[in-house]
Structure formats: structure tokens, C-alpha cells
């Protein structure tokens, strides 16, 4: 099998993006360390909730903070990063002045689905890489406000029965599984793709009464089964971890939906654009799927804040096209 390091060398090593390959290897190392911290949390006292909240006002798990520190620690020292934003930090993270700065901006959710940690359900890490628009000055927060189409790489790690790393650099999607015996990520899922048709959807149905009409229509039709207008039975899934939901879609098709709802009309959605919606949309589109807010392609959104929220619906292309059409009528 091909190792992650070998794959990156083959894909980027002879190009002007060789430094991106080195950065991605640092991401891989960070994900190994985070996975190990999760596995050992019951023995190290890292389980449970901390005494702090993140910028979104959510209670941080101890592992949220540990994972954030590990992600920063592994990616800041190689001379490839210019600055970082994280779900767990209110402001942009600037590199210490003694460290060399590179040309890449990093955005990440260091531990997606962390509410699942204490019940031993799959969680993950998500990351996105952008080019700094001006490499002759220190990075600024507004430098991150680029549409998702500008991403040069995106990926996620899944900490489940096995630890996996899924990556795109704009040349398709490939999956790597951590070999515990050697400590190496190995290419086990080359050229991952999403079936355009599906009979499976993932959504938090407890919020149904708050959904907008197009989403209610779509879900009602799925739930009606063979007797309904779709003429097929559908399965519903919900893990409460975006990484786990997207990974299932990559493996067997499906749709993941976290739509806008009417509880707070001022909020366009729940998930964060820069370090959740954009990287996952990049991966899904590179695998042949589609991603939308319902009215707009997510990767074309112009961000206005590093912690901007957005509605997210992504997965099998034909189902996403149907959802978009319902928003138009």
C-alpha cells in the first residue's frame, strides 16, 4: 500500500505546491496525536466538560481544548502556515514571532462532534487550507474571508473503529487508514466517490417544527415511503457528528442536512462556514456530490466573519438538486 507521505509526495512533490504537501503531513501528525488523546482520555483525566465556553457560547470539552492545542502545535512550527482560525478560538491565531511564516492560512474544527466523546461515538477533526492573499505582510483575520472555491486543500480525520484521514487537494478525494502497527496512514480508499442516487438522509428530526417549508416538504416525501410521491422507502440516520455523517455519505451515498430554521431568524444556520461547511463541501463536490444552503452553492458564498454560520445540505447530487428545486418554488 501507499503511505500518506508517499501519496502526497507523488501528488505535490514535483510542483510549486510541495510546501503544501509538507503542511498536510503535519496535519496528519496532528490527527494521530488527537486520536491518541481521545483513546487515552479515560486514563488521563481528559474526559468530560471544562470550565470554559468557546466563542459560540458552547461548553468546551476538555478534549476540545487539547485537540485545539495539538492542531496548533503540530502545524505552526514547519514554516508553512501564516495564521490560523479555529472553532475554539475567538480571534485569529498569529504565529509566535520567533517562528517562520509560510503562505497558507489554516482553518479547523479540531474536534467535531465532541458531545459524543463521553459516550464513545465517532468524532473527528476538519481542516481547510487557503493561500494568504499577501505574503509580504503579517496575516489578518480578513484574509480568511475567501469563498470556498479558493481552498487549496481540505480534509477530515474520523476517530472511529479505525482512524481515517480523508483528503482533497482539488484532484479527487482519497481516504487513508491508520495502521496501528506502523503508525502510518495508508491509502485504503482511493478515488472516493458519491453515488448520485440515494435512499438515505441524515437530519435532526427533533427540529422539524422549526424547518422552512422546502425542507419540510422534502423530508415529508422521504418519510411517506413507497406510498408517497417518491415511490421509495428511505432510511434516516443521525450521529450528531458532521465528520461521521459525511464519511457515511462518501462510503455509501446519502444526504446530510443541517438547514436554517425559524427559531432565530437572524441566524442563517448552525454550522460554521470557514472550517465546517467549506471544507466538507469541497470534499463532497470533489467526490461527485453537491452542496447547498438551499438557495446557493456553499463554495461560492463570500464570508463576512471568521465564525460565520450557514445552512448546510450536501451529499448525493440528484437529491441535492431536488432540494434546491424545492427552495425555488
Which of helix, strand or coil describes residue 168? strand
Residue 125 labelled as part of a binding site: no
Q: What are phi and psi of 37, to 5 degrees?
A: -65, -40
Residue 73 labelled as part of a binding site: no
Residue 29 labelled as part of a binding site: no
Residue 179 labelled as part of a binding site: no
The CB-based long-range contact list for 138-141 (8 Å cut-off, 24+ gap) reads: 138/82, 138/83, 138/94, 138/101, 139/82, 139/83, 139/92, 139/94, 139/101, 139/105, 140/83, 140/92, 141/85, 141/91, 141/92, 141/306
Radius of gyration of the chain from its Cα atoms, rounded to whole angstroms: 19
- What count of residues does the chain have? 329
Q: How far apart are CA 274 and CA 106, in angstroms?
A: 10
Residue 36 labelled as part of a binding site: no
Residue 206 labelled as part of a binding site: no
Residue with cell 520567533: 98
Residue 276 labelled as part of a binding site: yes
Residue 98 labelled as part of a binding site: no
Residue 87 labelled as part of a binding site: yes
- Do 291 and 299 form a contact (C-beta atoms < 8 A)? yes
Residue 195 labelled as part of a binding site: no
Which of helix, strand or coil describes residue 36? helix
Give ∠ CA 126-210-267 in degrees, rounded to 5: 55
Can you say which residues are annotated as belonging to the binding site for Mg(2+)?
87, 109, 111-112, 276
Can you say which residues are annotated as belonging to the binding site for substrate?
112-115, 204, 270
Can you say which residues are annotated as belonging to the binding site?
87, 109, 111-115, 204, 270, 276
Amino acid at each position: 500500500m501507499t503511505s500518506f507521505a508517499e501519496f502526497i509526495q507523488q501528488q505535490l512533490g514535483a510542483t510549486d505546491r510541495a510546501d503544501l504537501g509538507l503542511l498536510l503531513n503535519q496535519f496528519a501528525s496532528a490527527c494521530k496525536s488527537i486520536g491518541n488523546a481521545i483513546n487515552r482520555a479515560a486514563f488521563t483525566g481528559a474526559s468530560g466538560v471544562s470550565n470554559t465556553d468557546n466563542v459560540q457560547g458552547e461548553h468546551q470539552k476538555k478534549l476540545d481544548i487539547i485537540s485545539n492545542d495539538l492542531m496548533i502545535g503540530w502545524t505552526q512550527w514547519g514554516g508553512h502556515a501564516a495564521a490560523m482560525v479555529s472553532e475554539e478560538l475567538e480571534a485569529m491565531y498569529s504565529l509566535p514571532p520567533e517562528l517562520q511564516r509560510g503562505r497558507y492560512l489554516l482553518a479547523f474544527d479540531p474536534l467535531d462532534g465532541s458531545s459524543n466523546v463521553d459516550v464513545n461515538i465517532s468524532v473527528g477533526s476538519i481542516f481547510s487550507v487557503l493561500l494568504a492573499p499577501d505574503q509580504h505582510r503579517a496575516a489578518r483575520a480578513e484574509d480568511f474571508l475567501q469563498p470556498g472555491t479558493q481552498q487549496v486543500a481540505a480534509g477530515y480525520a474520523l476517530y472511529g473503529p479505525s482512524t481515517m484521514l480523508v483528503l482533497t487537494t482539488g484532484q479527487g478525494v482519497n481516504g487513508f487508514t491508520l495502521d496501528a502497527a506502523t503508525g502510518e496512514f495508508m491509502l485504503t480508499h482511493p478515488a472516493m466517490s458519491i453515488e448520485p442516487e440515494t435512499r438515505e438522509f441524515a437530519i435532526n428530526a427533533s427540529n422539524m417544527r422549526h424547518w422552512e417549508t422546502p425542507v419540510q416538504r422534502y423530508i415529508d416525501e422521504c418519510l411517506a415511503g413507497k406510498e408517497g410521491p417518491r415511490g421509495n422507502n428511505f432510511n434516516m440516520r443521525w450521529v450528531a457528528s458532521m465528520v461521521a455523517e459525511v464519511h457515511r455519505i462518501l462510503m455509501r451515498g446519502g444526504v446530510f442536512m443541517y438547514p436554517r430554521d425559524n427559531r432565530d431568524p437572524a441566524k442563517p444556520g448552525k454550522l460554521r462556514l470557514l472550517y465546517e461547511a467549506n471544507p466538507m463541501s469541497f470534499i463532497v463536490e470533489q467526490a461527485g456530490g453537491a452542496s447547498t444552503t438551499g438557495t446557493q452553492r456553499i463554495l461560492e458564498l463570500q464570508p463576512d466573519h471568521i465564525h460565520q454560520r450557514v445552512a448546510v445540505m450536501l451529499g448525493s447530487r440528484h437529491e441535492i438538486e431536488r432540494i434546491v428545486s424545492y427552495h425555488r418554488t
